[in-house]
A and B are shown apart, each in its own frame.
Chain A
């Protein structure tokens, strides 16, 4: 069964712009409805075998979930940040007489704030995925995901540490195990998903990252050798090599995320017999990033340029130097700036986010789709916190 993505640029841009402006006007409160409405558009644009997906989340439950999260996080974040700052002050050292060790301890104290919130960020990531699953339907049947956010937090920290200690060598293990943890707890109606495959298979997707690291290492050695033997040509070559390796690393990372998604999707099973085929192309994703990014920056400069041009209209008024004229100028600039920012966000939605999403969807196929007809409904999920933690901690990005 083929899956198509039918979303268009015009309507999505209009929706993102309209809801973005409403968010500004309501001082941010509308952002829960904004996200909900954009998801409704995107979900409904995914068409599997003639039947479209449905997003059933509501803005109001997202807002309520956020309020609940605020009560917890207000207390935790406020106190933890102040205590950590105090701890940082207590190892604060005179910058003129500090030893390296003391300076490192101080920097560590500053970054520890991030690690204090990290478990909640991971918790929020799992809860956000669970919420989105629980609010997704196809052919009237709910998707769903079991509870298990704290188990995810422990594993994410554990595998993350492993990947960090091994300098990224065990990154595929982290990617595979975490996705397996989430996939194995996912359902479509009465049917459960299973993640099959081997984590070591992901090394194939990692090839370009390893090549990039190899280039950088060899170039660095070449440069060190050049410095020792004072060979200019070798040093220049090493410098170019490091630059190439850097760019290669960026493309390699994109390649890894695209191809690991493909591999993990191809090895998912729904129920006993429904399988998937996924062939996303790294080239398309990179092309969209580059072309979309270029077009976006061009249009962004136009948008901000218009604001600047409008603002210059107020300069003659300011000649008399009255406070009112200056204040007016400030207000116009601020509003113009914020509106331009909303326009740029809406543009990035249609120039980058939507095309890449559409590509992932269109290159996905369902095998043995006939078995889908036998899948039965699952219970409505009412206990989810509607990703309030994710909203409070700003996890999850554009959609």
Chain B
């Protein structure tokens, strides 16, 4: 390495020093000399570091590895090399030139901070927010819950119907049959909510419970069902959700955790998608319990109303056939349907004195409610 011109900034003032650099006699250090420097500087080659990710190849800015208060362990002084040969020599002989050093104890700090953040987020997502949602769902006035439920049902109607007007099925005989079913299920027990049920004209095999006692069955489910008892089982299940305020609780919890999750995941490409999957996983873990509880509620309700749980079991069988792709249990919001079918079948075996919930004519009217 020949004696070469370079620029030096001492890290004390903004003045530029024109200097010469050369290799020391023992070849272990770089000697920096200049008219404006009080004395020659000796920078050990081992300690040399260069700035990374810079936008130019014709200049190399050197600094030294040193324990300082800076954000990285670096000497504030800078040496700028502009000589191509010297830059090439540095690249060739100093493999550790672009090494990123960290202050002592950084790993420990990372561990503590990560632990703290994970604990805080976990505590919020899995303990505090669910507990708050629980409490708030209990104290919300029922008339507010009903108003909220109506908004939700309207929203669902808009989504399912892609905005094309009302989906409500209005055939009077069908409505009478549906009401008869609900009355039969609910008359023998103390109810917190006035159940109001309706059918939407949509081909999907599904039903849902909105807050405040609104239960909606989709036409696809009525068509797929082979007996009124199947529909009764599903209705009882949804009424179970209504009575335990699952929808309200779920909405409250989502309101708290959704913002939190997107904040943690951040807004890099696809971040929103990952946050959505995270929310889905949490919902699944949370609602599997709710689903299992609603199943038990439904079986109990069927028992009290003297309705056979066989239909409920058959509905699960059909659902199982419908699901072409096997969804892993932890991803599905519903417990594995085969297990649920078995549970209902076992229950039905114990039942006695059951009687049909609808006559054949009423069942036909219900199935044709959307005509």
Contacts and interface: CB of A to CB of B under 8 A. Distances in A.
Contacts of A84: 255
B154 interface: yes
Nearest to A338: B270
A24 interface: yes
Given A140-B10, A141-B14, A82 B269 contact: no
B216 to A, nearest CB: 16
A61 interface: yes
A51 B51 CA distance: 14
A89 B102 contact: no
Contacts of A89: 140, 144-145, 148, 252
Contacts of B251: 85
Interface in A23-47: 23-24, 27-28, 31, 34, 37-38, 40-42, 44-45
B132 A82 contact: yes
Contacts of B267: 394
A79 B268 contact: no
A20 B54 contact: no
Contacts of A139: 9, 14-16, 78
B325 A78 contact: no
A74 B193 CA distance: 35
Interface centre among B12, B72, B270 (most CB of A within 10 A): B270
Nearest to B109: A64
A267 interface: no
B256 A40 contact: no
A95 interface: yes
A388 to B, nearest CB: 10
A338 B269 contact: yes
A96 B312 CA distance: 35
Interface string A367-392: 00000111111011010000000011
B371 to A, nearest CB: 26
B268 A31 contact: yes
A37 B259 contact: no
B263 interface: yes
Interface in A89-144: 89-90, 92-96, 113, 135, 138-142
A8 B120 contact: no
A291 interface: no
B76 interface: yes
Contact of A74 (B54, B68, B121, B144): B121
B117 interface: yes
A74 B106 CA distance: 24
B252 A82 contact: yes
A308 B12 CA distance: 57
Given A78-B256, A78-B260, A60 B16 contact: no
Contact of B56 (A38, A44, A79, A82): A44
A90 B144 contact: yes
A382 B69 contact: yes
Contact of A71 (B120, B132, B255): B120
Interface residues of A, number: 84
B12 A377 contact: yes
Interface in B124-183: 124-125, 128-129, 132-133, 136, 140-141, 144-148, 150-151, 154
A326 interface: yes
Contact of B76 (A28, A337, A377): A377
B359 interface: no
A40 B136 contact: no
B16 A78 contact: no
A78 B124 contact: yes
Interface in B260-283: 260, 263-271, 273-274
B266 A8 contact: no
A234 interface: no
A377 B76 CA distance: 9
A94 B16 contact: no
B114 A67 contact: yes
A53 to B, nearest CB: 10
A81 B258 CA distance: 9
Contacts of A220: none
Nearest to A337: B270
Interface of B: 7, 9-16, 51-56, 59, 61, 68-72, 74, 76-78, 80, 100, 102, 106, 109-110, 113-114, 116-117, 120-121, 124-125, 128-129, 132-133, 136, 140-141, 144-148, 150-151, 154, 251-253, 255-260, 263-271, 273-274, 324-326
Interface of A: 6-8, 11-12, 15, 20, 23-24, 27-28, 31, 34, 37-38, 40-42, 44-45, 51-52, 54, 56-58, 60-61, 63-64, 67-68, 70-71, 73-75, 77-79, 81-82, 84-86, 89-90, 92-96, 113, 135, 138-142, 188-189, 321, 323, 326-327, 334, 337-338, 341-342, 345, 372-377, 379-380, 382, 391-394
21 contacts: A38-B53, A41-B53, A52-B56, A58-B72, A60-B102, A60-B106, A74-B260, A77-B263, A78-B125, A79-B256, A81-B259, A82-B133, A82-B253, A82-B255, A89-B145, A94-B146, A95-B150, A141-B14, A342-B269, A376-B12, A393-B263
